[in-house]
Amino acid sequence: MPQRIAHYSIGDKLGSGGMGTVYRAVDSRTRQTVALKVLHPHLADDPDYVRRLQREARIAIELDCPYTVRVFDYGQHGDQHYLAMEFVEGQTLAKLMAERGKLTPDQARTIATHIALALDAAHQKGIVHRDIKPGNILIDKDGTAKVADFGIARDTGSTTITKTGFFLGTVQYSSPEALVGKTDIRSDIYSLGIVLYQMLSGRVPFEADTPLAVMDMHRSQEPLGLDELETTAGSALGAVVRRCLAKRPEERYQSPRELLLYLDARATMTLLSEEKHRVELRTPVPAEPPPTRHRERVPPPMSETAGAILVGDHPEGLAVNPSSNRLYLARPESNSVRVIDLATHGTVSSIYVGDWPTGLAVNPVTNRVFVACWQSGSVWVVDGTTNTVIARIGMAHGVADVAANPATNRIYVTNPGGETIAVIDGETNKVATQVRVGKSHCGVAANPIGNRVYVVTREGRLLVLNGRTHEISTVVRIGSGPSRVAVDGTFGRIYVCSFARNSLYVINSATEELLATITVGNLPQDLAVNPVTRHVYVANLKSHNVSVVDGDTNKVVTTIPVGNSPARVAVNPTSNRIYVANYNSGSISVIDGATNKVIARPSPERWDEETVISEGGKSGRSGGIDDTTVADR
């Protein structure tokens, strides 16, 4: 090897691959240390390999992502083709796993998140990597993972450099469709799933004596579940891996961004907040306190063995944002939403909204909270970062329930007074369209997987809406008196609780057929699903308990006594905690999803509050935002 190539002084050899050898080098112009990749001599005359090297350089320069290895320069010196890259002080993920065997769940999640962020940057440019594997992941000294080697990447907007049906990649990490030359971003997600599986278990899911045997296993066999191996991965990461490794691309996460929602919602939120093309938020509108309000005694931070979270009033709507670890509680009697820190169980803020808030929904990607206010016929939009109201969207009297689809940033609101489901654009905070469904609808849920919306009516109908066209595609007949609907998109199940029949209905979201009717407690009022554990939690108002249903067996596994008249329930899948709003005891019970035990139980006394009159001495509604802030209908 010559001591110099162009203006680079060659140092130690760092490694070698199928296309070339990588050396430590110094740029004589800038004195910067780089990793210089030099094409193998026997490939220098092959125009396909030269184009691949040039392609790798162009793609890496275009990406400019902190989770990809940067490329500074590429060119030809004599008969040598080279590529100057960022020199990463660290080691490959392959070497790291060879030393440690397997990684901790936190380490694996962090590295997988960095890879997914790199894939998202590539996806935004229409690029598929096609060779995600531990040898192409560099871990720097700070623990940041960087994706390298875009040499066989494919630009989805241009002609590929290989023909369909010709396999490129590494067979142990390739998706079933990639093995026959058909790839898109979901193929990279499959490969990332294998890398995550290996980080957690210390082994790849498919091993055999020949590449052809491994290829056949990718197409026809299911890997051993992480729960069957000696891992500490937990059910949350196990569910992520299972979905990444689905045989059919349409059953996987459909984009790196959707994967990040389940892998690390905070990373997704940060990613979106930094995008240059994102629409600027309007200036927050201060909501004045209502003339008649409560003086709140903020409960101190509490341990998991202390009493319940006391909130006063009769709590109604309940929602969790797992990315910010916040719980939102609608309090109709004080026309406010209380924000609770789930780490301390202390109150962060109380936000005044419209008259009689009853429904809440959170978009964890944009960190927005949507509050449906029954009496004022409006939806209030709260910025979850600043805890301020940024918009009020007016509609007909009787707004009751609300659901958010984080994948499309659409919000769906039941509006029985207007006989419609209102569809709100989360970017503009305006009503995009309204779907006529009749007066008796009472609950709504959104499924990001498949982009479907589910609406239940008092007559016992489940309406299925296409989230793209907003047309009713199917009507499923169920039992009378349904109160709420929830969806497990990962497992493909829709759940409806019926207060009239004390039942939980289970519907297959793919076939839209009724699978089971499960008897639960007395007067089931609300329900929530943990998509990681596949458990469904049903709040039974009259029997003062929560029924826990196993989504795999469709059976009640236990019944948990909680506070007086549980009316609402919400799940944090990240921590596997369940939060139950007890209407008559003015409190929230906290359940540990792993043990199905209440770890914060309401005390028998009600939390007394004093009513005070504002300085004006008037009573009235919360108001506080003039008509100019009402979004267009």
Q: Residue 48: its pLDDT value, please?
A: 81
Average pLDDT, the chain: 81
Separation between Cα atoms, residue 422 and residue 441, nearest integer Å: 12
Tell me which DSSP letter residue 547 carries. Answer: E
Q: Is 552 a catalytic residue?
A: no
Q: Residue 462: its pLDDT value, please?
A: 93
Separation between Cα atoms, residue 85 and residue 35, nearest integer Å: 5
User: Where residue 413 falls among pLDDT bands split at 50, 70, 90?
Assistant: very high
Separation between Cα atoms, residue 356 and residue 622, nearest integer Å: 10
Task: Look at the chain and count its residues.
Answer: 633
Domains of the chain: 4-86 (3.30.200.20), 90-273 (1.10.510.10), 292-607 (2.130.10.10)
Residue among 558, 594, 560 at smallest CA distance from 577: 594
Q: What are phi and psi of 472, to 5 degrees?
A: -75, 115
Tell me which DSSP letter residue 217 carries. Answer: H
- For the chain, helix, strand, coil in percent to 5 are 20, 40, 40
Tokens of 182: 């058909």
559, 591 Cβ separation under 8 angstroms: no
Q: pLDDT at residue 632 above 80?
A: no
At 221, the amino acid letter reads: Q
Among the ranges given (195-204, 473-482, 504-513), the one the predictor scored with the smallest mean pLDDT: 473-482
| DSSP secondary structure, 49-80, as one string | HHHHHHHHHHHHHHH--TTB--EEEEEEETTE
Please give the torsion angle defined by the CA atoms of residues 483, 487, 492 and 495, in that order, rounded to the nearest 10 degrees.
-20
380 CA to centre of own chain: 23
67, 112 Cβ separation under 8 angstroms: no
Per-residue pLDDT tens digits for 265-289? 555 555 554 543 333 333 333 333 3
Per-residue pLDDT tens digits for 521-531? 999 999 999 98
Catalytic residue among 45, 64, 79, 131: 131
Burial of 58 (0-12, 13-18, 19+ CB in 10 A): middle
580, 563 Cβ separation under 8 angstroms: yes
At 400, the amino acid letter reads: A
118, 68 Cβ separation under 8 angstroms: yes
Q: pLDDT at residue 514 above 60?
A: yes
Count CB atoms within 10 A of the CB of residue 633: 12
What angle is formed at CA 147 by the lines to CA 141 and CA 152, rounded to 5 degrees? 150
340, 381 Cβ separation under 8 angstroms: no
Separation between Cα atoms, residue 375 and residue 391, nearest integer Å: 17
Average pLDDT value for residue range 546-568 = 94
Q: Quickly tell me which residue has 């040898």 as its tokens.
A: 135
Tokens of 576: 């596997």
Q: pLDDT at residue 105 above 70?
A: yes
Among the ranges given (502-511, 520-529, 602-611), the one the predictor scored with the smallest mean pLDDT: 602-611
Distances (CA, A) of 475 to 78, 274, 459, 471: 70, 41, 12, 11
User: Burial letters for 596-629: b for 16+ Cβ neighbours within 10 Å, e otherwise?
Assistant: bebebbbeeeebebeeeeeeeeeeeebbbbeeeb
320, 362 Cβ separation under 8 angstroms: yes
Q: What percent of the chain has pLDDT over 70?
A: 83
Separation between Cα atoms, residue 111 and residue 133, nearest integer Å: 12
Against a cut of 0.85, is the pTM above it?
Answer: no
Among the ranges given (119-128, 139-148, 186-195, 347-356), the one the predictor scored with the smallest mean pLDDT: 119-128
User: Where residue 239 falls among pLDDT bands split at 50, 70, 90?
Assistant: confident
Q: Quickly tell me which residue has 């890879």 as its tokens.
A: 115
Separation between Cα atoms, residue 12 and residue 8, nearest integer Å: 13
User: Burial letters for 69-78: b for 16+ Cβ neighbours within 10 Å, e otherwise?
Assistant: bbbbbbeeee
Q: pLDDT at residue 403 above 70?
A: yes
39, 82 Cβ separation under 8 angstroms: yes
